[in-house]
Each structure stands twice: as structure tokens, then as C-alpha cells.
Structure 1
């Protein structure tokens, strides 16, 4: 792991892994997650995953994320997280529902996060800032409209957009 100013970066060949229950409370955190977040394992386990939410993240992204995984679908997303000591790190997250194979019921969520590409951050960060500004004026729906308009102009789906920078 390296640090430049307030930004932490981690090797692209290693992964941050966590699991949560249906309410987003952390039930598992791998060693890299514990290390980069700055929290102790006992501080993370049972805590809401949004303990890491950075104020630069538009709520509309989390709304989309939750809608997808609660419906039983996977999602990829760029996420800027905040550490315990107020540094930050970007991740390219892959979040999937955990389905109990015996009951076929949704029982939680699994997230594998890796270091994102520099190009991805260069594209996503200004979009998120634009969304955040819209959110401050008109709420999540205004932020979501910015995202939808961007995707429409590019003629791509959300998934294709996110995956195109990896």
C-alpha cells in the first residue's frame, strides 16, 4: 500500500473482500480491508458498510447499487471510501448477492474490490462531482438524471460504462 497526500493506493493484484448481512452490516473483512480502512476488525464487524462512505460519493450511486443487489443482481461500481483517519482510497467494486443454496433466499452481500485504473478515476471523479452538485440542489433524482443523461449521450448502459475503464 502506498500513500500520496490523503490518498491511499493498493496493488492491483490484491483484493479487498467483505461480506455483509441484508442490512449492510459487515460480517467479514479480509486483512487488506482492515489494513486500508484503518479500523480494527472488531470495529468493522457488525458496523454498517457505510462507515466507509466518503462525502464525495453521490447517494444516487448507492441507491443504484442497493436496488441492483437487493433485486438479486450483481453490480460493478467505482467507489471512493474514507478511512478511519480521514484519508481516502478508490476501489472498483464488484458486489453480488449471497443466495442460500438450500432455501434460494437472499442472505447477504459479497464485495470484491480492486484498485481501479487511473483512467477510470479521471472519468468517474468529475461525473461524481457533477452528480453530487446536482444532489445538493435537487436530491437523488437530480443526481440520477445526470448519470442517465451521461449514459444516454455516450449511448451505453451503466455496466458498459463502468467496465469500459478497466
Structure 2
């Protein structure tokens, strides 16, 4: 399999349609098996270019490696996760997504595939997460992934949050948080992605 060459990034953003969802499916090794039309429209790749490629073909170099390390560790534990990610389009432009990953298991409980839904995150969220990712990336480049991970763990410990809780906290505004006990029960049952885009 010939892996696509990543383009040189340019400082131009693709603004996503808030009503559209980018969908993809990969095998357990992260090889793309399906991409919906909106994924192809935003990434700029044709279907024949994407299918069979590693999903990291759209990884933007501004993304810290430690985030993907955590993401893959979580998925391999058969746990779903939400993540805020900056992606790279074929023409070098970038786009931000809030991603909801889901692990699909076969009849024996083994990982069969990973599905992902992606939507446009709130603008305020992008500002908060990009500043944090920039710090983590600078530590990675100067001291390596292991030290950057220790910094990130310390950052989350100071906030008293897990990565999931931190992402949820910055993604949901006060008006999206529950106001009464009945809504609180619904809120706890539903995942972040469902609550953000209901």
C-alpha cells in the first residue's frame, strides 16, 4: 500500500458546516475502511485516495503526539472517547473537530473496528484547546513525548479532571449544562457528543 504524502500546512482554516457530520470507520490498526461524502469534501481527498490509508494521513503537525497516544490506549482498552483534534486537508488547510469514537466488537469481544463522528466544535473551545496543545507540543519537541505526557497529567491533576472531563468542560457552555434534577439524570446518561448536538 502506498501511503499518501502529507501536504505542507498553510495557515488557512476550513470552517465546517455545523449541521454536517464527518463520518469514518477504520479497522483495529487505524486503516480507513469507510469515509462519508462530507469527510471527502472537507479533507479534499477522493474516496479511492482515502480507503486503505492510515487515518493519520489527516493528522496536523500542530497536534501533540501524546493526545493520540492517550486516544489509542483508550480505544485498545475497548473504551469510547471524545477528543478535540486539528486535522490537515489535502491542500494544506486545517479544520478543527470534536470527535466521538466508538469501538465495535465482534462476537468474541475482540475489536472489529472503530467508528468516528466529527462535528464543528464551538469557537471558544478551539481557542482554549489550541493554546494548551501548543504548550504540550513545545514540550514534546524540546523534551520528548514522555515529559510532555507528565506535564499534561499534572495539568489535569491540578484541575481535578480526566481528559474526558476537561474536554466536556470546555465544550459545554453554562447554558448547555443541566439546570434541574430531571435534566441532570438525562445529562449523565448521554455522552458528550449527544449532549452537544441534540
Per the shorter chain, which TM-score range? over 0.9
Cα deviation digits, residues 3-25 of structure 1 (max 9, x gap): xx610011222210000001111
Cα deviation digits, residues 13-54 of structure 1 (max 9, x gap): 221000000111100001100000000000000000000010
Aligned counterpart, 2:34:
28
The partner residue of 1:105 within 107, 110, 115 is: 110
The partner residue of 2:73 within 67, 72, 76 is: 67
Q: Separation in 2 of the partners of 1:123 and 1:136?
A: 21
Q: CA deviation at 1:152?
A: 1.4
Cα deviation digits, residues 106-126 of structure 1 (max 9, x gap): 111111111011111111001
Q: Given that residues 130 and 146 in structure 1 are in contact (C-alpha distance below 8 angstroms), is that contact kept between their aligned partners in structure 2?
A: no
What is the aligned residue count?
Answer: 161
Question: Scaled by the length of structure 2, what TM-score is found?
Answer: 0.79
RMSD of aligned alpha carbons: 1.0
The structure with the largest alpha-carbon Rg is 2
Q: Separation in 1 of the partners of 2:148 and 2:115?
A: 26
Question: Scaled by the length of structure 1, what TM-score is found?
Answer: 0.93
Say whether residues 1:16 and 2:11 are aligned partners.
no
Instruction: Give 1:1-166 correspondences, 5 Å limit.
Output: 6-100=12-106, 102-166=107-171
Q: Separation in 2 of the partners of 1:12 and 1:154?
A: 29
Q: Given that residues 65 and 75 in structure 1 are in contact (C-alpha distance below 8 angstroms), is that contact kept between their aligned partners in structure 2?
A: yes
Q: CA deviation at 1:146?
A: 2.1
Q: CA deviation at 1:104?
A: 2.1
List gaps (5 residues or longer) in structure 2: 1-10, 172-198
List gaps (5 residues or longer) in structure 1: none
Q: CA deviation at 1:158?
A: 1.1
SS in 1 for 2:141: helix
